[in-house]
């Protein structure tokens, strides 16, 4: 299976924060041949490990932003609450998938008032999320219940992952299915090597709800060194000056210096720089201090952990569809593989 095919499997899987079961099973299947064990903790983190000795941890979060059904109207329309951060400007009229109680996927639409009956002022107004409704093609509350949809059912905007053109992929949840794929590929490419430490890869739940899964997993794993893998903000688009573009696609993996959750120790930043230069890997810096990652929780657990962040630049994250460069994805894999081969230098 080539890199894009794996990305498509991960992106298309359902994994709204708190409901990561489907994506977790895809990851478990892809990871199992390359590790000694895969365990699911009480929160739902998938913790895969191999080897012995001091612990080096990789982390990538499985969850994606989405919604929960918060009310079912008498006439069958749904009201929703956000799970994670959405831009309200982008939500009207999109295709949505709801996961019913029995696991079935139900296609529906975030409804919109036709512009023909709106005033000029109403057309300019951003509809607040708490005013949105979802149309499942039902006529009553009872019909919705018969579909297995109830208060708390998870849903998210869904467009299938596909190639926009050769070398560029579009799809949902690249934050952080791109990071999950980097971790999986790093496991695969180092599987035949005896690394001088215990490698533990945490596929985390609940990052979009406040780094919850990574916090619990890091306490359990107790790593000496950790690297969080992300799909991050690519903002190289018209109207955004370069000084405000956290990353740019096509420029290689992004090394974090600081964000809202961590100031990365220079030792880690310089270590990642050295690997990239030695391997001829193009890289960039994620401009401080936008966003946050699981490293923010991991580096504070127990007595503290030397932690860093490497990200795949992705345009339009936390929107209905994202875009990434497969060359950036491949280069990020190379950087993380190089990190694993030299991580022993950071131990002790």
SS3 state at 135:
strand
Residues sharing a CB contact under 8 Å with residue 217, sequence separation 6 or more, in sequence order: 41, 43, 45, 47, 59, 202, 204
Q: Which of 64, 185, 207, 301 is catalytic?
A: 207
Residue 142 CB-density burial (10 A; 0-12 exposed, 13-18 middle, 19+ buried): exposed
10 Å Cβ neighbour count for 5?
Answer: 10
Residues sharing a CB contact under 8 Å with residue 274, sequence separation 6 or more, in sequence order: none
> Smallest Cα–Cα separation from 55: which of 200, 209, 258, 228?
200
Active site residue 207: yes
10 Å Cβ neighbour count for 159?
Answer: 16
Phi, psi for 102 (deg, rounded to 5): -90, 10
Q: How open is the CA angle 127-313-292, to the nearest 5 degrees? A: 70
* Helical ranges in 222-265 per DSSP H: none
> Smallest Cα–Cα separation from 325: which of 236, 207, 229, 243?
236
Distances (CA, A) of 339 to 139, 262, 272: 56, 19, 7
How far, in Å, CA of 15 to CA of 333, rounded? 23
The catalytic site residues sit at 207
């Amino acid at each position: 299976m080539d890199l894009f095919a794996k990305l498509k499997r991960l992106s298309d899987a359902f994994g709204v924060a708190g409901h990561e079961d489907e994506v977790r099973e895809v990851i478990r299947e892809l990871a199992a041949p390359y590790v000694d064990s895969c365990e699911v903790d009480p929160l739902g983190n998938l913790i895969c490990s191999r080897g012995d000795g001091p612990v080096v941890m990789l982390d990538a979060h499985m969850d994606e932003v989405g919604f929960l059904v918060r009310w079912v109207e008498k006439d069958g329309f749904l009201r929703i609450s956000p799970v994670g951060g959405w831009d309200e400007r982008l939500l009207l009229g999109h295709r949505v998938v709801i996961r019913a109680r029995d696991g079935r996927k139900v296609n529906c639409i975030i409804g919109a008032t036709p512009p023909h009956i709106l005033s000029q002022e109403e057309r300019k107004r951003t509809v607040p999320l708490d005013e949105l409704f979802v149309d499942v093609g039902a006529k009553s509350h009872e019909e919705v219940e018969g579909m297995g949809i109830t208060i708390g059912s998870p849903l998210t905007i869904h467009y299938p992952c596909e190639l926009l053109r050769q070398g560029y992929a579009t799809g949902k949840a690249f934050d952080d299915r791109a990071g999950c794929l980097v971790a999986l590929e790093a496991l695969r490419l180092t599987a035949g090597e005896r690394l001088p430490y215990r490698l533990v890869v945490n596929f985390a739940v609940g990052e979009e709800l406040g780094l919850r899964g990574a916090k619990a997993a890091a306490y359990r794993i107790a790593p000496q060194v950790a690297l969080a893998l992300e799909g991050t903000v690519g903002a190289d688009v018209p109207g955004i000056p370069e000084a405000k573009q956290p990353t740019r696609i096509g420029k290689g993996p992004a090394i974090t210096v600081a964000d809202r959750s961590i100031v990365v120790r220079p030792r880690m930043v310089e270590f990642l720089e050295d690997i990239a230069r030695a391997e001829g890997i193009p890289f960039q810096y994620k401009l401080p201090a936008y966003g946050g990652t699981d490293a923010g929780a991991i580096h504070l657990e127990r007595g503290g952990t030397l932690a860093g962040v490497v990200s795949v630049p992705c345009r339009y994250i936390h929107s209905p569809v994202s875009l990434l460069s497969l060359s950036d994805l491949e280069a990020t894999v190379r950087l993380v593989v190089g990190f694993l081969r030299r991580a022993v230098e950071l131990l002790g």
